[in-house]
A and B are shown apart, each in its own frame.
Chain A
Amino acid sequence: MNSLNVYLTIGAALFSIGLLGVLQRRNLIGMLIAVELMLNGANVNFMAFNRFLAPDPTVGQIITLFVMGLAAAEAAIGLSIILALFRRLHSINIERAQQLRG
């Protein structure tokens, strides 16, 4: 069981759940959490490849650390956008933010 495929399957499952969440949730915070799930799915992949295939063990870990930093920044920006939107619309439902409809 301790093989690459297991980890890849877990990563793909995490990514797919996250994608579904992004597409389906109408709550902006839920969407943000789903995005984090997608990022972590990718992280699992990186770590798995790093563990089983890479000759130099540090590369995948460094990328993962970067992605975690990125996720933190993304969460900060995303939350501040959500806050601004909430001040304007008094709601964090994505269906209310449709002013750009053509």
Chain B
Amino acid sequence: MMSLLKDPVLLAAALGTSLPFLSMAVILVFTRQNQRLSATISVGSVSVSLLSSLYLLITLYGAGAPVQYEFPWLLADDIVIPFGYLLDPLSLLMLTIVAVISFLVQVYSIGYMSGDPGFSRYYAFQSLFAWAMMSMVIAPSMLQLFIFWELVGLASYLLIGFYYEKWSASQAGKKAFVMTRLGDIGFFLGLIILVLGFGDLSIVRMNEAGQGHQIPQYLITISALLIFGGVMGKSAQFPLLTWLPDAMEGPTPVSALLHSATMVAAGVYMFSRIFPFYSMSPEAMALALAIGTVTMLLSSTMAMATYDLKQVWAYSTVSQLGFMVMGLAAGGYFAGVFHLTTHAGFKALLFLCSGIFIHEYHTNDFRIIGQQGGRKLMIPMVCMTVGALALSGIFPFSGFFSKEAILGVLANHPNKLWLGAGLVGALMTAYYTFRLIFFMLFPRGVAAAHGVHDAKGSGHGHDDHEGEHHGYIFWTMAVPVMILAGISVVLGFSQSSLESFLMGHGSVPAQLAASGGEGHAAAHDGHGIGHYALLIGAVTMALGGIFWAFMEFGRKGATQEGFLRAFPVVERLFAARWYMDAFLRAFLDKVIYSGLTNVFTRNDRRVIDGGIDGICFFTVAGGRLLSFLQSGMLQYNLLVMIVAVGFVVLYFLLA
């Protein structure tokens, strides 16, 4: 306790990461009835977190070696699993991102959620979410990371299913939880194998040992592949990606939080956390690269076929996460992390803007929002366009810098196929983004569109606010949006300082460079000879996508139908998410429910229940047989007793 007070860094770390938990407890136990107080407590605690994370970032900006506080928590003969804090550039950066986004989202939610009967509950869960994510970020060991990783999953389950009385919302929450759990099984198995084979789960020591070839190669590969299962679940990579588009059943600020700084970012963060460890296994990196690419391309096509505002951003999140995984898997540590950073900013911006529109027009269909005059809401419209430009990767917005960094990494990869996929992805991203923007900016009479999506759309729960669109409610939503738009504009220019911070002495890649690992080249990617050609290529792709969208949706007399209308089969394929949900459903029904579950049910009924019933039957039957001895006749009992005593006496006399 004394050391806590003496060391301001430790104090800030402990205070910043644990206050949201306290606020959750206080809200749930004491202040559920008082909405205003609940919001104050929650926002207050998260602003303390924000301040302490900024303090940590500034104090430790120039610090060489990572600061680590550990105390042993789980002890066995040769296994020590510590608990504590690890403050290195990566975790400081991520901590700041999480704190900033959580803070802005909570401020925004004051307006968005006002009047909701579950207001206090909402803030309790938001605090839980912030606590879990921040504690996960600064975890020094993989086990602690895993524990908070699961808590992040729990918090997002609670928030996605926030409108639990709505069937689709509770289903979406369940789907998110179960699908991410599926990946977590792999994660946990990987950790167990690592403990058995290496005996230490400390991130720093894992990375050092991986680089120093102290862990056998096969062990690295097996555990890296299994741990990647966790990334696949959490960051919605290819086979497990369909939970994320459904996750927008929750309130829009939750989607903003979920899609930018927390939850889905956890997977990519974990990947970059043990990046030196991963990079020692070419097989795992190749698999991650392939899965990232498939995810990015698939979800980009899905985004082309939906008319749901939030769903477009959800698919784009999936595709950008795939892009980050590609960047990391191709060896670009900084590129991946940088894209994670910028993406957190502009994706939160896009969702929060969408939230204002949805709050205003009570629909998720962007065609209807456009027709009802969505562009008249100047602040969100401008901010959303800023976010869209950043997402498409247009200079000077933040997405341009980070996308270009990832493409630079991909260009250095010996196989140019990945670069091509990345460029196609950039084209498609710009296309679907500006398809949405043009629909909203230049609405046409699409009468047929009415009622198509309404059933799924407007149900965001509170239709009881009237005529307060420009009161404090509007401004609590508009101000965070404007801050985020500002961040999206300027963040890109911090690339070089961020790079020197992240790649600086004592950080993960510095160890990489020191030991001559293959991540070394990644540190200086994107500055080679083909740099400018690549730059032009990327920008051309983005502009091409925007132009394509403009030709189809934006210009005067455009049909606003899109090229997909000409290929109804393809459109249906895209809209049905490549039938991945249908496949998973069928898989679940056929293999799990009627196959495995059936076998297990039979086993349960016949073998286990049957065995226990058999034991009971034999016990009862044996009791029946023996009960004939109890005649109830006192004198028979006495006779038996005396005969027995007689035999005993006889025995002793003879012996």
Is the C-beta of B445 less than 8 angstroms from some C-beta in chain A? no
Choose the segment among B87-95, B266-274, B513-521, B624-632 that binds chain A (4+ C-beta atoms closer than 8 Å): B624-632
Is the C-beta of A99 less than 8 angstroms from some C-beta in chain B? yes
- Is the CB–CB distance between A94 and B634 below 8 Å? yes
Is the C-beta of A32 less than 8 angstroms from some C-beta in chain B? no
**Count of chain A residues near B, Cβ 8 A:** 12
- Is the CB–CB distance between B642 and A97 below 8 Å? no
* B282: min CB distance to chain A, Å: 76
Is the C-beta of A19 less than 8 angstroms from some C-beta in chain B? yes
Is the C-beta of B639 less than 8 angstroms from some C-beta in chain A? yes
> Of the candidates A22, A24, A98, which one forms a contact with B633 in the assembled complex, judged by CB atoms under 8 Å apart?
A98
B-contacting residues, A78-102, CB 8 Å: 94-95, 97-102
Is the C-beta of B638 less than 8 angstroms from some C-beta in chain A? yes
- Is the CB–CB distance between B638 and A22 below 8 Å? yes
> Of the candidates B627, B632, B642, which one forms a contact with A19 in the assembled complex, judged by CB atoms under 8 Å apart?
B642
A-contacting residues, B390-406, CB 8 Å: none
- Is the CB–CB distance between B638 and A102 below 8 Å? no
* A92: min CB distance to chain B, Å: 13
Q: Per-position contact with A for B606-638: 1 when CB-CB < 8 Å, else 0?
A: 000000000000000000001111111111001
- Is the CB–CB distance between B630 and A100 below 8 Å? yes
* List of A residues within 8 angstroms of B638 by Cβ: 22-23
Chain A's closest residue to B630 (CB) is A102
Chain A's closest residue to B634 (CB) is A94
> Of the candidates B632, B634, B642, which one forms a contact with A102 in the assembled complex, judged by CB atoms under 8 Å apart?
B632
> Of the candidates A19, A24, A97, which one forms a contact with B634 in the assembled complex, judged by CB atoms under 8 Å apart?
A97
* List of A residues within 8 angstroms of B630 by Cβ: 100-102
* A80: min CB distance to chain B, Å: 17
B-contacting residues, A14-44, CB 8 Å: 19, 22-24
* List of B residues within 8 angstroms of A102 by Cβ: 626-632
* List of A residues within 8 angstroms of B632 by Cβ: 97-102
Chain A's closest residue to B636 (CB) is A23
* List of A residues within 8 angstroms of B639 by Cβ: 23
- CA–CA, A98 to B627, complex, Å? 14
Chain A's closest residue to B631 (CB) is A101
* A78: min CB distance to chain B, Å: 12
- CA–CA, A98 to B630, complex, Å? 10
* A32: min CB distance to chain B, Å: 12
Chain B's closest residue to A97 (CB) is B634
- CA–CA, A56 to B214, complex, Å? 89
Chain B's closest residue to A95 (CB) is B633
The residue among B626, B632, B639 with the most chain A CB atoms within 10 A of its own CB is B632
* List of A residues within 8 angstroms of B633 by Cβ: 94-95, 98, 101
* List of B residues within 8 angstroms of A24 by Cβ: 635
- CA–CA, A100 to B627, complex, Å? 10
Chain A's closest residue to B628 (CB) is A102
* List of A residues within 8 angstroms of B629 by Cβ: 102
- CA–CA, A95 to B634, complex, Å? 8
Chain B's closest residue to A98 (CB) is B632
* List of B residues within 8 angstroms of A23 by Cβ: 635, 638-639, 642
Chain B's closest residue to A28 (CB) is B634
- CA–CA, A97 to B631, complex, Å? 11
* B638: min CB distance to chain A, Å: 6
Q: Per-position contact with A for B338-357: 1 when CB-CB < 8 Å, else 0?
A: 00000000000000000000
The residue among A24, A101, A102 with the most chain B CB atoms within 10 A of its own CB is A102
* List of A residues within 8 angstroms of B635 by Cβ: 22-24, 94
- Extra 13 A-B pairs, beta carbons < 8 Å, given A19-B642, A98-B633: A22-B635, A23-B635, A23-B638, A23-B642, A24-B635, A97-B632, A98-B632, A100-B630, A101-B630, A101-B632, A102-B629, A102-B631, A102-B632
Interface residues of A (CB under 8 A from B): 19, 22-24, 94-95, 97-102
Interface residues of B (CB under 8 A from A): 626-635, 638-639, 642
For this complex, 28 residue pairs linking A to B, each with C-beta atoms less than 8 Å apart, are A19-B642, A22-B635, A22-B638, A23-B635, A23-B638, A23-B639, A23-B642, A24-B635, A94-B633, A94-B635, A95-B633, A97-B632, A97-B634, A98-B632, A98-B633, A99-B632, A100-B630, A100-B632, A101-B630, A101-B631, A101-B632, A101-B633, A102-B627, A102-B628, A102-B629, A102-B630, A102-B631, A102-B632
For the complex of A and B, the 5 pairs showing the least CB-CB separation, nearest first, are A101-B632, A102-B627, A102-B630, A98-B632, A100-B632
